[in-house]
Amino acid sequence: MDIDSYLTGYADGEGCFCVSFNRSRRHRFGWEIRPSFSISQNGDRAEVLRLFHTRFGCGAIRPDRSDRTVKYETRCINDLVERVIPHFEQHPLLSGKREDFQRFARICRMMYARDHLRPEGFQVIVRLAAQVNGGKRKYPRETIKL
Amino acid sequence: MDIDSYLTGYADGEGCFCVSFNRSRRHRFGWEIRPSFSISQNGDRAEVLRLFHTRFGCGAIRPDRSDRTVKYETRCINDLVERVIPHFEQHPLLSGKREDFQRFARICRMMYARDHLRPEGFQVIVRLAAQVNGGKRKYPRETIKL
């Protein structure tokens, strides 16, 4: 049994690569860009979330206020780029979610390189994020601009 | 990347070990016992279902009439006992679903040995099946008796 391959399989079904945008005065161009990798689960399968937490060595497990589930989530851009993304490059997703992941990885690496602080970088990220399925659309893409 | 561990991880999230009962005049004690291993998926992730189909060498992939999903399912008791169950014993589930699986495996092996045709075996199976989460309860346990 290879635990890393197991985690990739689990994430291919249940994981979410998401990029959300929030209105923010404190952020460049008035928008906070928030990438996250998360997995939600009924409490009775929380042990798998602990496996992700331990294996990735980052993120947090929290009860989800909106329903009776527990969520593992990593939002920290350094952890995403240095820990989460390399895992899924070494142990690749096998479903169509792989394409979401690739766009997600590109966005995270641009932010890691602080490209999102330049207008061109910001615009590329907005375009890519619109193609990442997991992202809940609080704001339609057209409303997010410089 | 170990494909078997990946499949176990995927199944730990998305798979269902289910034992259902149907009224039947043609079956001993008036009940057909139907164990199945299945995974449902939106059409856009059907490639993972094909992986299960190929790797296990049994079962079938079908569109699910009730919604817009595709389902991989193995119902044949010989395939369950000779192919599906050994996979999950060699590459074990790591969530609480493991306990469902163990009861499911016990039921399948009893049927493989034709124990379900004896009253004692039938009753053990009814009791075990009531503890397998995946089973949709068309009939409450109390209604299934000799």
Which residues from A are below 8 Å from B96, CB to CB? 44-45, 47
pLDDT at site B143: 80
Q: Which residue of chain A is at minimal alpha-carbon distance from B89?
A: A1
- Which of B4, B13, B96 is closest, CB to CB, to A47? B96
pLDDT at site B136: 56
What percentage of chain A reaches a pLDDT higher than 70?
Answer: 95
Contacts of B101 (CB under 8 A, 6+ apart): B17, B88, B93
Measured CA to CA, the distance from residue B11 to residue A49 in angstroms comes to: 15
Q: Which residues of A touch B (CB under 8 A)?
A: 1-14, 44-45, 47-48, 51, 90-92, 94-97
Hey, what's the torsion of the CAs at A52, A58, A62, A64, to 10 degrees?
Answer: -80
Question: How do the pLDDT tens digits run along chain B, 146 residues long?
Answer: 999 999 999 999 999 999 999 999 999 999 999 999 999 887 777 899 999 999 999 999 998 877 788 999 999 999 999 999 999 999 999 998 999 999 999 999 999 999 999 999 999 999 999 988 655 567 777 788 77
Q: Tell me: the pLDDT tens digits for A47-87?
A: 999 999 999 999 999 988 777 889 999 999 999 999 999 99
- At which residue do the structure tokens 């009861």 appear? B103
Best residue of A1, A3, A6 to probe chain B, by most B CBs closer than 10 Å: A6
pLDDT at site A136: 56
pLDDT of A137 over the 80 cut: no
Phi, psi of A73 (to 5 degrees): -145, 135
pLDDT at site B101: 97
Tokens linked to A119: 């207008």
Q: Which pTM was predicted?
A: 0.90
For B80-89, the CB contacts below 8 A with 24+ separation are B80/B35, B80/B36, B80/B37, B80/B108, B81/B108, B81/B109, B81/B112, B83/B56, B83/B57, B83/B58, B84/B37, B84/B56, B84/B58, B84/B59, B85/B109, B87/B4, B87/B7, B87/B8, B87/B55, B87/B56, B88/B8, B88/B11
1.10.3210.10, 3.40.190.10, 2.60.120.380, 3.10.28.10: CATH of B3-134 = 3.10.28.10
Looking at the domain A3-143, which fold is it? Endonuclease I-creI (3.10.28)
pLDDT at site B42: 79
Min Cα separation A29/chain B (Å)? 35
Best residue of A3, A4, A5, A131 to probe chain B, by most B CBs closer than 10 Å: A5
Q: Tell me: the pLDDT tens digits for A28-42?
A: 999 999 999 999 887
Tally: H helices and E strands in chain B: 6, 4
Tokens linked to B144: 């299934």
Measured CA to CA, the distance from residue A56 to residue B99 in angstroms comes to: 26
Measured CA to CA, the distance from residue B90 to residue A87 in angstroms comes to: 24
Q: Tell me: the pLDDT tens digits for A76-130?
A: 999 999 999 999 999 999 998 999 999 999 999 999 999 999 999 999 999 999 9
Interface contact A51-B94, CB threshold 8 A? yes
CB of B77 within 8 A of CB of B68? Answer: no
For B80-85, the CB contacts below 8 A with 24+ separation are B80/B35, B80/B36, B80/B37, B80/B108, B81/B108, B81/B109, B81/B112, B83/B56, B83/B57, B83/B58, B84/B37, B84/B56, B84/B58, B84/B59, B85/B109
Residue A145 banded pLDDT, cuts 50, 70, 90: confident
pLDDT at site A133: 64
Hey, what's the torsion of the CAs at B2, B4, B7, B11, to 10 degrees?
Answer: -130
The ipTM of this complex is 0.87
pLDDT at site B82: 98
Dihedral (CA of A101, A71, A11, B45) sign: negative
Query: Order of strands across the sheet with B15-23?
Result: B15-23, B31-42, B69-74, B60-64
Q: Tell me: the pLDDT tens digits for B95-133?
A: 989 999 999 999 999 999 999 999 999 999 999 999 886
Q: Which position has the higher pLDDT, A141 or A35?
A: A35
Domain ranges in chain B are 3-134
Interface contact A97-B45, CB threshold 8 A? yes
**Maximal CA-CA distance, chain B:** 49
